[in-house]
């Protein structure tokens, strides 16, 4: 039983901490000068005389994450274009996607959608993170779950404004490099629209329950350390655990947020590689591990794939 709970716990933190981009201003991250170390994961993808560099990200950060490892920084510097899951400059598109997929329509709130019994642990969790319920009334359950998990990361010292994606987007803007979207905010948030009301409530309840577990804080640290130390072996272990987790969160993470997205991300990267030489692409690091990963899919198509670190 404890093993099953452990799988759910790891899956939930991975699901919301790593797989949904929450872009914010990069807070001067380009000026942070901690010693660069091997972090994330970096691949080269080659086809028809062109090379693309593919980097793995997470969506929170700390000051000592920066600058990125020297080879990643060099690949960004020489890139004529930078590809991200979504372009943070498309704020109107992002706001429209949140309205459509993340918020209840006017007149509906989580207080009308959840029973008093379901509301009690939610209100306690919001109080724990000093989140005012009135500010989140129209948040759908999956958005509430994301907000709670993001605040767990913040409590442990990880900052969404220092997310790797935000850093890379900020770098592209500062160096006048065009940003190409591989997915877009609407496509990402539409995935959560696949969850029905019951599934969303289950996801929220599992998240609240597991974030209250005393081991959760340590799991948050461990997950961030996987990225910090470029530990792809541990990443593979996380993915194997997720695939044996048959909870709502586990099935959604593997079947939808990974297996459904990876072929489309691979298509986008292949298309960019055909048009551009030396492009730099950055996607969530979980998309770079496992037999169904983006690098594996590209290799199956005959592309030359090399893991640099």
CA distance 122 to 185: 26
What pLDDT score was predicted for residue 35? 45
* Residue 7 confidence class, pLDDT cut points 50, 70, 90: low
Q: What is the pLDDT of residues 27-66, one digit of tens each?
A: 454 455 554 567 899 999 999 999 999 999 998 899 989 9
Mean pLDDT of 104-125: 97
Strand order in the sheet with 42-47: 179-181, 82-84, 279-284, 50-57, 42-47, 304-307
pLDDT by residue (tens digit) across 193-225? 999 999 999 999 989 988 888 777 677 777 788
Considering the chain, what is the average pLDDT of its residues? 88
Query: Which two tokens mark 140?
Result: 């759908």
161 vs 301, higher pLDDT: 301
Cβ burial of 41 (10 Å; 0-12, 13-18, 19+) is: buried
For residue 104, name the pLDDT band (cuts at 50, 70, 90): very high
Please tell me the predicted confidence (pLDDT) of residue 9: 62
Q: Mean pLDDT across the stretch 94-100? A: 93
Is a pLDDT exceeding 60 seen at residue 25? no
Please tell me the total number of residues recorded for the chain in this structure: 309
Asked if residue 164 lies in contact with residue 57, where contact means CB atoms within 8 angstroms, the answer is yes
């Amino acid at each position: 039983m404890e093993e099953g709970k452990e799988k759910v716990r790891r899956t939930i933190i991975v699901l919301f901490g790593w797989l949904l981009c929450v872009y914010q201003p990069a807070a001067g991250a380009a000026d942070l000068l901690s010693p660069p170390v091997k972090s994330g994961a970096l691949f080269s993808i080659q086809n028809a005389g062109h090379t693309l560099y593919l980097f793995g990200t997470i969506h929170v950060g700390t000051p000592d994450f920066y600058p990125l490892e020297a080879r990643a920084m060099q690949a960004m510097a020489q890139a004529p274009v930078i590809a991200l899951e979504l372009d943070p400059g498309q704020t109107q598109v992002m706001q429209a996607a949140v309205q459509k997929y993340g918020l209840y329509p006017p007149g509906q709130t989580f207080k009308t959608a959840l029973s008093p019994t379901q509301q009690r642990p939610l209100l306690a969790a919001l109080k724990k993170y000093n989140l005012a319920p009135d500010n989140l009334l129209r948040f759908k359950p999956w958005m509430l779950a994301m907000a709670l998990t993001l605040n767990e990361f913040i409590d442990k010292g990880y900052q969404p404004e220092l997310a790797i994606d935000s850093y890379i987007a900020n770098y592209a803007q500062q160096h006048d490099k065009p940003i190409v979207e591989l997915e877009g905010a609407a496509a990402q948030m539409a995935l959560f629209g696949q969850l029905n009301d019951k599934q969303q409530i289950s996801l929220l309840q599992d998240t609240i329950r597991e974030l209250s577990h005393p081991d959760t804080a340590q799991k948050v640290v461990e997950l961030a350390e996987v990225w910090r130390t470029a530990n792809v072996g541990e990443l593979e272990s996380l993915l194997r655990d997720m695939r044996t987790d048959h909870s709502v969160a586990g099935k959604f993470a593997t079947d939808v947020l990974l297996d459904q997205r990876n072929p489309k991300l691979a298509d986008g990267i292949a298309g960019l590689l055909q048009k551009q030489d030396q492009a730099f692409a950055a996607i969530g690091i979980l998309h770079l591990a496992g037999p169904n990963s983006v690098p594996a899919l590209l290799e199956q198509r005959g592309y030359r794939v090399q893991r640099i670190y």
